[in-house]
Amino acid sequence: MSKPVRKITHRKYKELPIIVVENHHEVIPFIYKAIGSKYLPLEKNALVHLDSHPDLLIPYDMDAKTVFSKYDLFDNLSIENWILPAAYAGHFNKIVWLKPPWSTQIKEGLHSFLIGEETWSNGIRVTCSEPYFLSDALWAAESELSNKREVDLEVFTLGKVVEENGSDNYTELGRMLRNHIEEDGTYVLDIDLDFFSTRNPFLSLYEKAAVYDRLSELYQFPKNLTIDLDCICAGRKKQLDDLQSFCKHLAAHGNLHNMSSDLKSSPYLPGVIALQSEIEKHYPNADIDWEEVNNAGCTCDDDGLPHHVTSRQDISKMIDVSLCGLLASLPHPPSMITISRSSADNYCPPEDVDFIQESVLKVLTEKFAPCKITLDYQERYYSDTLPPHDVPGPSPEPVNLPMAPENSTSKQPRPQSTDALLP
């Protein structure tokens, strides 16, 4: 008996859209516009995500219903948490995270889990017990979730060609991609340019006071496998709440006087006192950015953020070999391609980002012509002033941005309304 013909419910672009943004969550309005314009189905799309970071967190205090109000949702998203809210809304049910060898936040392999609304908090939670989710207190038992959806996440390492005697397994990559992308299925190919070279921008935060090392101890994820997952998440949530409250108090008052009784009895108080003392000793006249200190601390879980500044020779090898190998392994062209530069916040080295972008666009447009490139980041304002405290890397310098390749259309002005983001 022949297989039933699957009804196609989406349109196809005449020119494959390639959207280039600066901050990664800025791709979401373009994806939502593609859904609204029926170039992507409303549900069950796949996402192939190349990045040094999973970006699979969830805004902890965001009400689950926010995902159904797109403008409210856009206001709640940031670079580390833009994918799973879209999965909870049903737009993605298959996610492939292609990570470089230096990224270890989630172990390789298939992770099948449920995502849903936690009944007592109304937040979005997952049943996956990977430390990546536990360390942000995002785990919940299936019995505590409503409006549940199934998600398949597969983690695969790509880019081993830059390791000594390393090579990528394209046979396995192709098999894995075919498992997640149906023969006529829709998917988004998403590329963060920091996949090829990445910094941990917090490593030199108040470097004279060794702040990142101190934060790594203070914010360390207290994983204890002898207790149940509910207790692990509750303990982690209390730890993060206390530390955030300390930083907010310091930001407001400049000292630790007149704190609440809960903070006075917190086990983390001695560590915060020592941290404050060291920063003020080495930066006596500085206006300490305690919000940034807390943001840096929240990245300190099992492994912290990856840090691997890649040589241009190895960047070229990853693009010419690994990226081209991936494109050859895809079962069919993507429905759209989204690209994040991630250079304004120093995750992708600013001195290399244009080189990487130009090389990646060349490969993509040669493979998928005809393409239409939208350089969204050129229509936005991003400050070229680094924060007043120490940060790694050189100050951004004016660069000549790459021109769209000849087989693409010229850049169009960014519309004021998101209803006109894509054709």
pLDDT at 210 over 80: yes
Q: Which token pair is 91?
A: 């737009």
Question: Do the strands 16-21 and 109-118 form a parallel or antiparallel pair, or are they unpaired?
Answer: unpaired
**CB within 8 Å of 188: residues ≥ 6 apart:** 31, 40, 45, 46, 47, 48, 334, 335, 336, 337, 338
What residues does 145 pair with on adjacent strands? 118
Least confident range from 58-72, 80-94, 97-111, 377-391: namely 377-391
**One-letter amino acid for residue 196 of the chain:** F
Give 370-392 pLDDT, tens digit per residue.
999 999 998 876 554 444 433 33
The pLDDT value given to residue 45? 97
Q: Which token pair is 173?
A: 């990559």
Least confident range from 89-98, 293-302, 371-380, 391-400: namely 391-400
Q: Which token pair is 260?
A: 């609440």
pLDDT at 414 over 50: no
Give 127-181 pLDDT, tens digit per residue.
999 999 999 999 999 999 999 999 999 999 999 999 988 999 999 999 999 999 9
> Contact 145/98 with Cβ under 8 angstroms?
no
Stretch 354-376: mean pLDDT:
97
Give 149-161 pLDDT, tens digit per residue.
999 999 999 999 9
pLDDT at 46 over 60: yes
pLDDT at 80 over 90: yes
**One-letter amino acid for residue 157 of the chain:** T
* C-alpha–C-alpha distance, residues 291 and 181, integer Å: 41
* Residue that has been written with the tokens 């170039």 in this structure: 39
pLDDT at 403 over 50: no
The pLDDT value given to residue 5? 52
Percent of the chain having pLDDT more than 90? 81
pTM greater than 0.85: yes
User: What is the three-class DSSP state of 16?
Assistant: strand
* C-alpha–C-alpha distance, residues 159 and 323, integer Å: 8
Stretch 76-91: mean pLDDT:
97
The pLDDT value given to residue 4? 54
> Contact 332/31 with Cβ under 8 angstroms?
no
Cα–chain-centroid distance for residue 86? 13
| Mean pLDDT, rounded, of the chain | 88
Q: How many CA atoms lie within 13 A of 320 on its CB side?
A: 7
